[in-house]
């Protein structure tokens, strides 16, 4: 390894590490914002769902509706906590891996955070209170509400692109270093 190629690898690696950290910070901020907004979203969506069944609302009465709202809030907070506890880079989902990180890919990944287990947890209080959960009261796109976070999604997309560029620079620098090592060992 020549001094020049080693320095190039080190510089590229530092650039990558900084870009990766910036991407992870942007992604974490986005997931935090989605998790923070979730209880209010669930409340609003549940309200729309119960509006369609006033007979069940009358049957439950004020106390029953207060219990339902408390159960919904608890379920939403639990799902939000699971989002906050998630590690890794969920915004680099399968679509992003196949087609690159874009606003669409990040939005799709956000919506994918609300799969069957999460939605089932949110629907359970509605079912338990006697409300019909068909059509589904909590669609993934309404739970994620990407349009509320478009600036954060765009920032994350740009950060991911910078990370991808930096990763390519690391790869190029390592290949140049490998070529130099071979040339040195060969005696070129």
Closest CA to 90 of 162, 30, 158: 30
Per-position DSSP letters for 13-67, written without gaps between them: HHHHHHHHHHHHHHHHHHHHHHHHHHHHHHHHHHHHHHHT-HHHHHHHHHHHHHH
Domain ranges of the chain: 3-186
Tell me if 104 sits within 8 A of 93, measured CB to CB: no
The SS3 call for residue 23 is helix
List the Cα angle 113/111/72 in 5-degree steps.
Answer: 70
Burial (CB < 10 A; 0-12, 13-18, 19+), residue 29, is: middle
Rounded to two decimals, what is the model's pTM? Answer: 0.89
User: Would you call 139 helix, strand, or coil by DSSP?
Assistant: coil
Q: Are 123 and 133 in contact (CB under 8 A)?
A: yes
Residue 114 gets which letter from DSSP? S
Q: What is the pLDDT of residue 1?
A: 60
31-61 confidence digits (pLDDT tens): 999 999 999 999 999 999 999 999 999 999 9
For residues 143 and 42, the answer to whether their CB atoms sit within 8 Å is yes
* Spans in the chain with pLDDT lower than 70: 1
């Amino acid at each position: 390894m020549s001094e020049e190629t080693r320095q190039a690898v080190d510089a590229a690696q530092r650039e990558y590490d900084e870009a990766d950290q910036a991407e992870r910070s942007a992604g974490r901020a986005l997931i935090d914002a989605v998790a923070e907004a979730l209880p209010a979203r669930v409340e609003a969506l549940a309200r729309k769902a119960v509006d369609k069944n006033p007979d069940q609302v009358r049957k439950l009465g004020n106390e029953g509706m207060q219990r339902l709202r408390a159960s919904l809030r608890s379920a939403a907070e639990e799902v939000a906590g699971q989002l906050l506890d998630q590690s890794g880079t969920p915004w680099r989902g399968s679509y992003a891996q196949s087609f690159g990180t874009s606003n669409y890919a990040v939005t799709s990944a956000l919506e994918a955070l609300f799969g069957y287990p999460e939605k089932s947890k949110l629907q359970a209080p509605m079912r338990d209170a006697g409300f019909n959960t068909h059509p589904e009261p909590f669609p993934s796109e309404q739970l994620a509400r990407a349009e509320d976070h478009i600036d954060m999604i765009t920032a994350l997309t740009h950060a991911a692109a910078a990370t991808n560029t930096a990763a390519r620079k690391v790869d190029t620098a390592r290949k140049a270093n490998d070529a130099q090592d071979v040339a040195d060992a060969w005696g070129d």
